[in-house]
Amino acid sequence: MRPQRKPLPAVDLPVPDGSGIYTFPDDLHRVHQTHTQQLAARHRAMDHRVLEVTAPHTRVPYYVEARTPVGRPVLVIEPHHDDFALSASGAFLARPRPLTVVTVFTRSRSVHPALEATYADVDTVSELRDREGAAALAPFAARRLLLGHRDAEPPYRSYDPELLDRVTEELRRIAALHPDAELLAPAAVTRHPDHLLVHEAAVRLGCTWFWEDLAFWATYALAGCDQHLFRTRTGAAMRPELVDITDVVLDKVTVLRMHGSQMHPARKMYRPIRHAFTTAADLVDGTGLYAERFYRTEETTC
């Protein structure tokens, strides 16, 4: 039987304004600080259900309640270290399942512009992002597998078909070691070639469950061409499903602080929460403030 979760702190969850921006006095940052302080008090009182996690770049400690995974295992295939955290972590905070996360593109030069002198090459950036990925997945008790491919860099071009074949075969070998696991991968509704490649590789492996990518979500709600691209990529055959993450949204903010420890100002980390609020408006019963959206191409067997 799944253990009962403690209720959220006695604070009102904020909602963004019409432009998706959190504003004083109900901004997400302040509410999250209160949440963190309450968890820190439990941690000091030796509550072993509360984990201390440290943001790799800033070295700031945060606190999050540990999850107990139950049910069918999930093999997550993510393009980059942050994609699962951005797009699907709320659902697994709410409904913990045994996770193995495979990150395909783990060699990168992508870092906050203000820190390019500190993380000046592929090795230092990749090492930081590896630590961020590990910290973000700590609350899930997830296993991590890194394939070691290098990120595509702007200007983006179509992915190399030979690379797709190679990644597919690497993933096939991993999937064979997890025969009971359900596959989860990006829906590839972005233009990023790494996302498109991973989506296609997952489809080749028989994946039927996909999360909605958030890497370029800032344009989805604004540009008609991106909305059309989103509808075209998901297609009528992909059934949308929503997972209400309202009860865990503050823990998701903590996860975001891990994966984006070098991002500043802090409000930049709230983009997926902003998206989640927008998505929640589609909840059929009208309940919940936040949700994450997934797609399936066939009925679940879970």
pLDDT (tens digit, 9 = 90+) per residue, 57-116? 989 999 999 999 999 999 999 999 989 999 999 999 999 999 999 999 999 887 777 777
- At 107 the three-state DSSP class reads strand
Per-residue pLDDT tens digits for 162-181:
999 999 999 999 999 999 99
Q: What are phi and psi of 204, to 5 degrees?
A: -60, -30
Task: For residue 73, give Cα distances in angstroms to 95, 178, 182.
Answer: 12, 8, 6
The single-letter DSSP state of residue 26 is S
pLDDT > 70? residue 182? yes
Over the chain, what is the mean pLDDT? 85
Residue 120 CB neighbours (<10 A): 12
Q: What is the CATH architecture of 69-296?
A: 3-Layer(aba) Sandwich (3.40)
Question: In the structure encoding, which two tokens stand for residue 199, read together?
Answer: 């989506």
End-to-end CA distance of the chain: 17
- Looking at per-residue pLDDT, the higher value among 71 and 189 belongs to 71
SS3 238: coil
pLDDT over 90, % of the chain = 53
pTM for the model: 0.88
For 101, the enclosing helix (H) or strand (E) is: strand 99-107
Element (H, E) at 62: strand 61-65
Neighbours of 121 (CB within 10 A): 9
Domain residue extents for the chain? 69-296
Tell me how far apart the alpha carbons of residues 188 and 71 are, in angstroms, rounded to a whole number. Answer: 27
Q: Is the pLDDT of residue 219 over 60?
A: no
pLDDT in tens, 236-262: 567 788 999 999 999 999 999 998 887
> Please, are residues 141 and 151 in contact by the beta-carbon 8 Å criterion?
no
